[in-house]
Structure 1
Amino acid sequence: MRLVPIENVKPNTVLGKSLYDINGRILLRAGVVLRENTIAKIKEINILSIYIVDKYSNEEIEDIIKPELRQKAIITIKEAFSNIGRLNNNSVRNKESDYTWQEQSYFYNIGKMAVDLIDDILNRRDVMLALVDIRSMNNYMYSHSVNVAVISLTIGIALQLSKKKLEALCIGALIHDIGKSLVPREIFDKQGSLSEEEKEILKQHPRLGYKYLSTTYNINSLSKLIVLQHHERPDGNGYPDGLTKDNIIELSNIVSIANVYDNLSTDLPNKRAMFPSDVLEYLMSNAGTMFDYNIVNIFCRIVIPYPKGTIVELSTEEVAVVEETIPGFPLRPTVRVIESPRVSRISMKIDLIKEISIVITGVKYEID
């Protein structure tokens, strides 16, 4: 199967991955044949891309976590963020006793969810990262938080962090944007561009989140620092405190990379996802300034920007389907040619690690 923007999906296409509504209930099950009116309804609920099955890509892409666990995690974060914002009404309290039993239960559920996510990923035979999340823009912040946690955990496992640190990392990643629920709703929900003043208010969300969490005993101190530092940069040009490399904890550096990777590789209503190689190039070119150099190197060895089944355009003016990605070479998969000016090359396998003169130039969504 392969991920395709909804505007490129044609009637009679087979759905590859089940679709869920904002509350985690199944809307359409995998295997359904999509009619024109069904495609229109998918667009109406702001799902921008879906997985399809066709003759070129009929193998299942396995998510790094179970689909039902992903949906449960999204609902857990949604309940916490939306209700914490409502309960606090943009105020920050200073006494532990001020936290309601509801809020403490949200933190407890998030901690339990972190343990479930860690166990699920550790039970896999490998931790190569190929996200298969299909998200509605109505649920974007919550699904983004779960994706950042999953990406962060794959990096943390590759770094051989202890289970205790993985737990702090996962919790911090799940709640890294909790401060956004404390930003005035008229700013957070604004359609169109923010004013410079509004941008500065939004940039305070790490500090708002940290202050809110500072007196709760249910959240590890490392997780709280992740919330505060996930927009800091090694060169000192981050926010909210302009910290430099030596003052930013390793876990915050991990979440910073995961956060940017998920944002850049996700379709948004006003911005299409960046080309996979461009996302990795962006991370690598900013390693040491925006991002921790060593962690970027680790990340680029475990990510799969072109999952099996992705249809790509080659510099040879041919079209091919990705069949295998070798760890350490994310931009050089093995592909099988499906369209070529030379008939003799159809079905030919090309190992891009060996054929260094050939590069992937784009992802193709519509095949004749």
Structure 2
Amino acid sequence: MRLVPLESVRINSYLAKTLYDIEGRVLLNEGTKINTVLIEKLRSFNIDLLYIIDDLSNDDIKNIIKPDLRNKALELINSTFKNAEISGLSNDNDEYLKSVYLLAEELLDAILSNDDLLPYLVDIRNLNLNTYNHCVNVAIISLVVGINLKLNRTELLNLATGALIHDIGKAFIYKGLVMKDAPLTYDEFELMKNHCQKGYNYIENNAFINNDIKMIVLQHHERIDGLGYPNGLFGNQINKLAKIVSIADIYDMLTSQKYYIQSMCASDALEYIMSHAGTIFDFNIVKVFSKVIVPFPYGTVVRLSNGDLGIVKETFSNFPLRPNIKIIKSNIKENEGTTISLINELSIVISHIEKVV
């Protein structure tokens, strides 16, 4: 099993994992044979990555959370946002926000039950950037970072809860703007920026929601250099948990397809975040983030600097850019089928992800 870009899926390949839409409904069952009609259907749903079964990788890829928990999360976030849209700024949100906090507990416990978080993170980005899916993804990424920052359980639960509702202010933004399938104009972007303050206003007087969660909703677009919004805060003026969600938010946006924007490969997204450590993002959090994110996930086909073609077989904490690679094509025939460690082979680097094999 491996993860393959939709444009690289071969006709008559078999789907390795059941595929769900953004509402949690089954689109395609595991074992379905892929044909041109199905590929066009998936493209219409803005799905650009599939798990397939082929002869390059026969091993299983585990989910960081089970599909039923992901579907439960999507349903709850969907209903929470819709309730916000209907109720406006009334206080009719206790039931939903309490449910989100309980969901955060489930997500945290599910992630903590994994022995190794690294290989499974890729599972979070196999759908398009729907707002609800995005919020669940951001919560998962934030939790993985928070766990590696050694946050205590209370902080982790606040982090997950805030991440799950960080974009709830978009419920009060004109839907045509939120769903627009073209770049926003300057004026439209100025309107979109209001979602932080609107989301904060919605939860501000809720006694069940503590200050850390409120600050995540309000501050997740603030920047360390003071050029963020809505209040242009600097450095330590920004809540620590909001800084984590800020990084997770950008990473998921960059690596997910949103209508008119093609998704960026994980290594490029990681490079973008690392290059802005100390300006947009908190340097120390980026340092941890760069050690736990997987830029070349298990099953990725890559071209090496020596010209060999290989498939990622194992990734390592603290060395995410230097995985173990199984050589599948080489000018030196005896190298084919062998596995090399880029931690040991320092003269070899990954040049790029090879989309077509």
- Normalised-by-shorter TM-score class: over 0.9
Q: Match of 1:316, SS? A: coil
Equivalence for 1:133: 124
Of residues 125, 147, 159, the one that matches 1:157 is: 147
Structure 1 residue aligned with 2:180: 190
The Cα shift of 1:147 comes to: 0.6
- Establish whether residue 99 from structure 1 lines up as the match of residue 99 from structure 2: no
Mapped pair 1:357 → 2:347: yes
Q: Which residue of 1 aligns with 2:163?
A: 173
Where do 5+ consecutive residues of structure 2 fail to align?
none
1-structure distance, mates of 2:256, 2:179:
19
Matched, 1:124 2:114: yes
Q: Which residue of 2 aligns with 1:54?
A: 54
Equivalent residue runs for 1:76-91 within 5 Å: 76-88=76-88
Cα offset, 1:47, TM superposition: 1.8
Cα pair distance change 1:56/1:135, threshold 3 Å:
closer
Separation in 2 of the partners of 1:134 and 1:306? 13
User: Which range moves more in the overlay, 175-184 or 269-278?
Assistant: 269-278
For residues 84 and 173 of structure 1, do their structure 2 counterparts lie closer, same or farther at Cα, with a shift above 3 Å needed? same
- Counterpart selection for 1:284 from 274, 285, 295: 274
Q: What aligned pairs does 1:10-29 form with structure 2 within 5 A after superposition?
A: 10-29=10-29
Residue by residue, what CA displacement relative to the aligned partner does 1:235-280 show, whole Å, maximum 9, x if unpaired?
Answer: 1111111100121111011101111111112233322222322222
Partner of 2:41: 41
**CA–CA distance in structure 1, aligned partners of residues 180 and 38 of structure 2:** 29
Is 1:257 aligned with 2:247? yes
Counterpart amino acid of 1:110? V
State the alpha-carbon separation in 1 of the partners of residues 225 and 125 from structure 2. Answer: 34
Name the counterpart of 2:314.
324
Task: Give the conservation status (yes or no) of the 8 Å contact 2:182–2:260.
Answer: no
Q: What SS does the aligned partner of 2:122 have?
A: coil
Q: Is the 8 A contact 2:125 2:255 kept in 1?
A: no
Structure 1 spans left out of the alignment, 5+ residues: none
Contact 1:130 1:303 in 2 (8 A): yes
Compare 124-133 and 356-365 and name the one that shifted more: 124-133
Provide the aligned length of Structure 1 versus Structure 2. Answer: 356
In the TM superposition, what is the alpha-carbon distance from 1:135 to its structure 2 partner? Answer: 4.9
Measure how far apart 1:78 and its partner are: 1.0
Whole-Å separation in 2 of the counterparts to 1:134 and 1:241: 30
Tell me the amino acid that sits aligned with residue 273 of structure 2.
L
Aligned twin of 2:137: 147
- The offset of 1:291, in angstroms, is 0.7
CA deviation after TM superposition for structure 1 residue 70, in Å = 1.0
Task: Give, in whole Å, the separation in 1 of the partners of 2:243 and 2:53.
Answer: 37
Deviation at 1:131, TM superposition (A): 2.4
Distance 1:186-1:28 versus aligned 2 partners, 3 A rule:
closer
Q: Counterpart of 1:273?
A: 263
CA RMSD of aligned residues (A): 1.7
Relative to the length of structure 2, the TM-score reads 0.95
1:348 counterpart letter in structure 2: T
Question: Residues 293 and 142 (structure 1 numbering): CA distance in 2 closer, same or farther, change over 3 Å?
Answer: same
| Alpha-carbon distance in structure 2 between the residues aligned to 1:33 and 1:118 | 35
Q: Distance in 2 between matches of 1:20 and 1:278?
A: 27
SS at match of 1:32: coil
Deviations 1:197-219 (A, max 9, x none): 11111011111111111011232
Partner of 1:303: 293
- How far the C-alpha of 1:5 sits from its partner, in A, is 2.2
Match of 1:63 in 2: 63
Which deviations, in whole Å up to 9, do the C-alpha atoms of 1:159-195 show, x marking residues without a partner?
A: 1111111111000000010111111223223332322
Q: Deviations over 1:5-44 (max 9, x none)?
A: 2222222111122111333122222222223322232223
Distance 1:322 1:272 in 2: 23
Residues of 2 paired with 1:312 and 1:136: CA distance? 22
Secondary structure of the residue aligned to 1:133 is helix
Q: Counterparts of 2:127 and 2:300 in 1: how far apart (Å)?
A: 21
Residues 106-163 of structure 1: CA distance to partner in whole angstroms, max 9, x if unpaired?
11211111111011111222333522135554x7111110010001001111111111
Q: Which residue of 1 aligns with 2:335?
A: 345
Partner of 2:302, secondary structure, is: strand
Between the aligned partners of 1:131 and 1:220, the Cα distance in structure 2 is: 31
- C-alpha change, 1:317 and 1:112, in structure 2 (3 Å) is same
- Return the offset for 1:3: 2.0
The letter for the 2-side match of 1:43 is R
> Normalising to structure 1: TM-score of the pair?
0.92
Residue in 2 that maps onto 1:3: 3
Q: 5 Å matches for 1:178-257? A: 178-257=168-247
Distance 1:197 1:268, change over 3 A: closer
